[in-house]
Amino acid sequence: MKIAIAGTGYVGFVTAVCLAEHGHQVTCVDVDKQKIDSLNRYGKALIYEKDLDALMEKNKERLTYTTDYASAYKDAEIIFIGVGTPEKRDGSANLNYVYAVAMQIAETAERECVVVVKSTVPIGTNERVEKLIREHRPEGAAPLHVASNPEFLSQGTAVHDTLHASRIVMGVEDEYSKAKLTELYKDFAAPKIITNRRSAEMIKYASNDFLALKISYINEIANLCEEIGADIEDVAKGMGYDKRIGSKFLRAGIGYGGSCFPKDTKALHWLSDYHEQELKTVKAAIEVNDHQKLKLIRKAHKYYEDLEGVTVAVLGLTFKPGTDDLREAPSLTNIPMLLEEGAIVKVYDPVGMERFKEHYPTQVKYCKSAEEALDGAELCLILTDWPKIKEIPIARYAELMDKAIILDGRNCYELDEVRVGGVTYDSVGRITVH
């Protein structure tokens, strides 16, 4: 099929490459000229995601990149909207990018086609997109149909999650959309849920918010474990064997980040409040997460009354391993606080440093390895559980650091491993090992 995708970000680009892998002809559209020029010139993904470059190379004959949206939309059979829906000041979702694309499609699509909203959007947005299209459609133009097809990929495993989706949700209000989307996804083995657009929009928010809730819940239990001498790793393991609970998303740490959970919890909470049906559980999840993000800074003051002049190694900058994405990463709240307190900050991340430099070009020292960051440090904060960080033998901290105080926000090590002497290992929801 001939597909156009508006938005060449984490979702739009991965979707494009995976649909090309399934034999579709895909045109990626973006307003960011630099992005499109770079994709055309170098033929390499602009985001870090496992297997993406290889799949892009394999399917390059079926992929094109352009800023000229009219040329992409005019004869597409399906047009995806995969642009950002960032958080507004009041917590609601900013839909300006979605609406801008809808109007561009209305003005330029020449054949009958399905406009598929893949961006995460509040309940009722598909209807507004349809209305906007109707208002901006030239008289006598071919009909455009609007359908919802939310995305569930996880950064770090985005290609796998798309090719082997847990489910494909199609929110449709007409037979044309249903037939087209069914045809598009016919070779995907995932369970297909065909429902109305509002339910599809809700499935996405309810799923993300449930996962965020699970994380905040385990983090609160972890905080209590620390106080009462229980071990959160064993507690989570014991809980996870119960199939009704499941073991996923029971990893205690310093909270969720990324481009989805923080904004999607706030957006659904805003919407529930607006409808006077406040989701109190979601509100609590947000509050717990905000508090959890700064847990390591609070812990740091157990060891140093004042961080002025203290050399701090920060391992991990991205919001999770497997991605270069820094959106809502704990590094962006913790490092400014360290700097504000006068700490000397040395950082290491296997892939996130270039993006971090855009925020802090000179204020921190960028290190080529974790060892370089640890060398001479008096405190270490582990913010991301990259394999490269987890595999550092604990004895190396003792050898390299001036004072080997490790605050592990991701529980990267077993407590048995850290009893090597010479280190203080303080993690989340477990006893501190000295």
Ligand X SMILES: NC(=O)c1ccc[n+]([C@@H]2O[C@H](COP(=O)([O-])OP(=O)(O)OC[C@H]3O[C@@H](n4cnc5c(N)ncnc54)[C@H](O)[C@@H]3O)[C@@H](O)[C@H]2O)c1
Residues forming contacts to ligand X in the complex (CB under 6 A) are 6-12, 29-32, 35, 82-85, 97, 100-101, 119-120, 151, 153, 155, 259-260
**CA–CA separation, 236 and 224 (whole Å):** 13
Identify the three-state secondary structure at position 109: coil
Q: Smaller CB distance to ligand X: residue 256 or 425?
A: 256
For the question of residue 18 being annotated catalytic, the response is no
**In 3D, which of 325, 375, 379 has the Cα closest to residue 349?**
325
Strands 25-29 and 2-6: parallel
Minimal distance in Å, beta carbon 222 to ligand X? 25
Q: How many Cβ atoms are within 10 Å of 131's Cβ, its own excluded?
A: 12
Q: Smaller CB distance to ligand X: residue 99 or 360?
A: 99
Q: Determine the residue with CB nearest ligand X.
A: 9
Minimal distance in Å, beta carbon 398 to ligand X? 37
**In 3D, which of 345, 360, 347 has the Cα closest to residue 309?**
345
Minimal distance in Å, beta carbon 33 to ligand X? 10
Minimal distance in Å, beta carbon 291 to ligand X? 24
- Give the list of residues 6+ apart from residue 76 with CB closer than 8 angstroms, or none: 2, 3, 4, 27, 109, 111, 113
- In angstroms, what CA-CA distances link 93 with 96, 122, 262? 9, 7, 11
Q: Smaller CB distance to ligand X: residue 210 or 421?
A: 210
Minimal distance in Å, beta carbon 205 to ligand X? 10
Q: Smaller CB distance to ligand X: residue 98 or 364?
A: 98
Q: Smaller CB distance to ligand X: residue 251 or 299?
A: 251
C-beta of residue 344 within 8 angstroms of C-beta of residue 350: no
Backbone φ and ψ of 302, nearest 5°:
-70, -30
**CA–CA separation, 81 and 99 (whole Å):** 10
**CA–CA separation, 279 and 270 (whole Å):** 9
Q: Smaller CB distance to ligand X: residue 34 or 369?
A: 34
Strands 379-382 and 405-408: parallel
- Could you say which of 225, 260, 367, 412 is catalytic? 260
Sheet of 63-66, strands arranged across: 63-66, 25-29, 2-6, 78-81, 113-117, 144-148, 168-171, 192-195
Q: Smaller CB distance to ligand X: residue 8 or 177?
A: 8
Minimal distance in Å, beta carbon 18 to ligand X? 13
Which region holds residue 145: left if phi is over 0, alpha if psi is between -120 and 50, else beta? beta
Minimal distance in Å, beta carbon 131 to ligand X? 18
Tokens of 256: 């969720």
Tokens of 239: 């809980």
Q: Smaller CB distance to ligand X: residue 83 or 338?
A: 83
- In angstroms, what CA-CA distances link 4 with 27, 66, 113? 5, 10, 11
Q: Smaller CB distance to ligand X: residue 32 or 375?
A: 32
C-beta of residue 114 within 8 angstroms of C-beta of residue 145: yes
What stretch of H or E contains 235? helix 232-240
Minimal distance in Å, beta carbon 192 to ligand X? 18
Minimal distance in Å, beta carbon 244 to ligand X? 26
Strands 365-366 and 379-382: unpaired
Q: Which residues are catalytic?
A: 260
